[in-house]
Amino acid sequence: MEIKQKKEKKEEIVRIYIMGREYKVPAGLTIMKAMEYAGYRFIRGCGCRGGFCGGCATVYRVKGDYKLRMALACQKTVEDGMYTSQIPFTPAEKPIYNLEELSPSVNVFLEYYPEIAKCVSCNTCTKACPQDLEVMDYVQAAIRGDIQEVAELSFDCIMCGLCAMRCPTEIVPYNVALLARRLYGKYVMPKAKHVEERIKEIESGKFDEEIRRLKETSMNNLKEMYEKREIEPE
């Protein structure tokens, strides 16, 4: 009887460059996991690891491709011949303002971010966004003074800074978007009645005793309470 031997599937290895140095890593890893495989230890710029914090912005090129591409290291998987550079922080000036003293006027964006008037509609910011947001569209909405549209189009912005790095007129779109969402939340969006009621309950001390008990509970009991908690249906 002929015995068939199983051949072990050879793990595919790709070659990448991290900060100019060559490494060989398993295919299928994200850039972040590939860096850890190569021996890097993250102490900052790793954040949520799920595409929510924007702390692992990465610029990369693939051999044979002239395009400079943008991604989050926690999301993008490695490619053979990939050259990467990590940029966990993008320097950007942010005007100081007091939200209580601002009004949701059509000129509020131009007052604090006059550079948006220089937008040339090149759409480079949109192409750089790892969240696939229509960045240029909300910059144009800011020029028109449409607070609600800016807030809605930028709702999923994680402020990674890649749009600002690519803008040829040096606009910082994510800061413009942040102002829009703050204004929208304070002046445009209807107030949530249940939130106001809960704040009153907290201020009245309704939950003080429960909080005291939780603070005095052991870690093991807290874990058990958490695992047995009643979860709201989706």
CA atoms within 13 Å, Cβ hemisphere of 113: 26
Q: Which domains does the chain have, with CATH numbers?
A: 13-86 (3.10.20.740), 99-188 (1.10.1060.10), 193-224 (no CATH)
Please report the pLDDT score of residue 89 as a whole number: 82
Residue type for position 112: Y
pTM of the entire predicted model: 0.77
Contact 23, 34 (CB under 8 A): yes
Secondary structure of residue 61 in the 3-state scheme = strand
Tell me the pLDDT band of 190, cut-offs 50, 70 and 90: confident
CA–CA distance, 185 with 188 (Å, rounded to integer): 6
Q: Where do the H-state alpha helices sit in 55-203?
A: 108-112, 124-128, 135-144, 147-153, 162-166, 173-183, 193-203
pLDDT digits (tens, 9 = 90+) for 219-234: 999 999 999 888 766 5
CA–CA distance, 103 with 101 (Å, rounded to integer): 7
Q: Phi and psi (nearest 5°) for 102?
A: -90, 155
